[in-house]
């Protein structure tokens, strides 16, 4: 499914010292989170970004290293700079449901608005906040700037959420680990224990995949049992509407399987003060579907038979910014162009292949079947997936199958993936491929103080 969007998970500290690469305000014990709420509105050609509200709450669960840079460009970025000298205090990248909507037919004839919520470090001094949104070729197509003053009396102080919650995994302090909130949607208060069991299944499944398994001690997980008035979620194409905590529904953009929530303010209101920077939402339904938005959230159904592989796949989108590696020319329009390299690390147009998995290609390519060439690179024909996985199970080196395989990013031509099959390609793939594993590992290392094993 198409999943671009993201939200930022960011850092805040209201102290007399500016944030530094070592997160010195945290060392002084006075950290807090700045929340920035925006409205993105427009149509397929025009965008307006408006500040809705600023708020804050105690505690910061975002990264405390590499504050002034991003590991991925994303479809947009938030940058906070000191007014006094222009220093970059914080930078993060994201994608948004709004930008995805702009590529739909509806956006040609209708103007719509979307909520967007970013978490960021509260600067210790007046600072400039800049939001940039990028087009499919990476160009800036909308931007917005405003000032944030940590002494502003209209920055709302949010109380800690009263939502029932349990820590599922506590590997270390929030500032030293990557903090994941697994959130209930469509579970009544009487179904809280069912949710906690589902949340543990989701966590265990994510952590069973490499490189998450080897980096388990870099993660914290909290399960948040938001109670809904009704059990289940809304299915508009069947005429079913439910009263749920996050008002999620299928048929997003009229795509039956696309399950999202547009109520981002409500979502973050109910998480305020809890340790979180990434969000996994579990929907209490056996209907197949979901979505994953980079640095925003994963939303998937908890009781479908493919729940386990799907939650891992969607987390690959929302946490690691990985692209879908499947393709269907009849269903999706062209989203990637030959003269622009995608920012997602697991697909390429070969425009700048050196920035992708070129270093992972086997030294000797004699075993590869050449399907052609493009821009001087040899293209590979994918083997039978089942035979490949059997060969690997029998001892074949997984790295030997790394190559350049045409098809990915919803397009059969002009976009290439690095492996025949992968968790980002099919539900049957048992692992993330070596290309995706390397991308995920790099992101985990970027966000934590210590390197994984």
Question: From the CB of residue 118, how many other CB atoms can be counted at a distance below 10 Å?
Answer: 24
pLDDT tens, position by position, 85-136: 999 999 999 999 999 999 999 999 999 999 999 999 899 999 999 999 999 8
Q: Sign of torsion, CA 147 151 152 155?
A: positive
What number is the average pLDDT over the span 212-232?
98
257 burial via Cβ count (<10 Å: 0-12, 13-18, 19+): middle
How far apart are the C-alpha atoms of 65 and 397, rounded to whole Å?
35
What number is the average pLDDT over the span 350-372?
75
pLDDT tens, position by position, 157-189: 999 999 999 999 999 999 899 999 999 999 999
Beta bridge partners of 417: 347, 405
**Full-model pTM:** 0.91
Residues in Cβ contact with 145 at an 8 Å cutoff, skipping those fewer than 6 apart: 128, 129, 130, 131
Query: What is the 8-class DSSP label of residue 206?
Result: H
How far apart are the C-alpha atoms of 263 and 248, rounded to whole Å?
8
Give the per-residue pLDDT at 329. 65
Query: What percent of the chain lies above the pLDDT cut of 70?
Result: 89
């Amino acid at each position: 499914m198409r999943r671009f969007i993201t939200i930022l998970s960011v850092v805040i500290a209201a102290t007399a010292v500016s944030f530094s690469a070592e997160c010195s305000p945290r060392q002084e014990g006075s950290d807090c989170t700045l929340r920035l709420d925006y409205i993105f509105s427009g149509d397929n050609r025009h965008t307006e970004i408006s500040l809705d509200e600023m708020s804050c709450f105690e505690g910061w669960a975002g990264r405390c290293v590499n504050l002034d840079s991003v590991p991925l460009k994303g479809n947009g970025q938030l940058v906070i700079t000191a007014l006094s000298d222009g220093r970059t205090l914080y930078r993060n990248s994201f994608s948004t449901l709004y930008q995805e909507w702009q590529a739909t037919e509806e956006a040609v004839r209708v103007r719509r608005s979307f909520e967007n919520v970013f978490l960021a470090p509260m600067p210790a001094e007046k600072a400039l906040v800049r939001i940039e949104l990028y087009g499919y070729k990476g160009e800036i197509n909308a931007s917005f700037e405003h000032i944030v003053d940590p002494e502003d009396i209209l920055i709302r102080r949010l109380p800690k959420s009263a939502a029932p919650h349990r820590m599922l995994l506590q590997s270390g302090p929030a500032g030293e680990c990557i903090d994941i909130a697994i959130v209930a949607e469509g579970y009544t208060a009487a179904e809280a224990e069912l949710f906690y069991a589902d949340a543990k299944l989701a966590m265990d499944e994510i952590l069973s995949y490499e490189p998450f398994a080897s980096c388990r001690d870099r993660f914290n997980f909290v399960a948040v049992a938001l109670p809904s008035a009704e059990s289940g979620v809304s299915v508009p194409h069947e005429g079913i509407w439910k009263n749920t905590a996050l008002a999620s529904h299928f048929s997003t953009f009229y795509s039956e399987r696309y399950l999202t929530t547009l109520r981002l303010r409500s979502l973050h209101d109910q998480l305020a003060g809890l340790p979180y920077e990434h969000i996994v939402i579990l929907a209490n339904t056996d209907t197949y579907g979901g979505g994953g938005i980079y640095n925003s959230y994963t939303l998937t159904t908890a009781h479908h038979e493919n729940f386990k592989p799907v939650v891992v796949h969607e987390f690959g989108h929302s946490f690691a910014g990985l692209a879908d590696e499947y393709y269907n020319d009849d269903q999706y329009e062209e989203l990637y162009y030959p003269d622009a390299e995608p920012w997602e690390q697991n697909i390429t147009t070969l425009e700048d292949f050196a920035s992708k998995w070129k270093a992972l290609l086997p030294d000797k390519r004699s075993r590869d079947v050449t399907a052609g060439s493009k821009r001087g690179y040899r293209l590979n024909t994918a083997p039978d997936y089942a035979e490949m996985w059997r060969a690997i199970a029998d001892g074949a080196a997984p790295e030997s199958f790394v190559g350049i395989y045409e098809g990915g990013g919803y397009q059969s031509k002009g976009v290439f993936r690095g492996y025949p099959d992968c968790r980002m390609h099919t539900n049957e793939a048992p692992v993330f491929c070596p290309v995706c594993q390397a991308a995920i590992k790099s992101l985990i290392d970027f966000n934590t103080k210590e390197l994984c094993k």
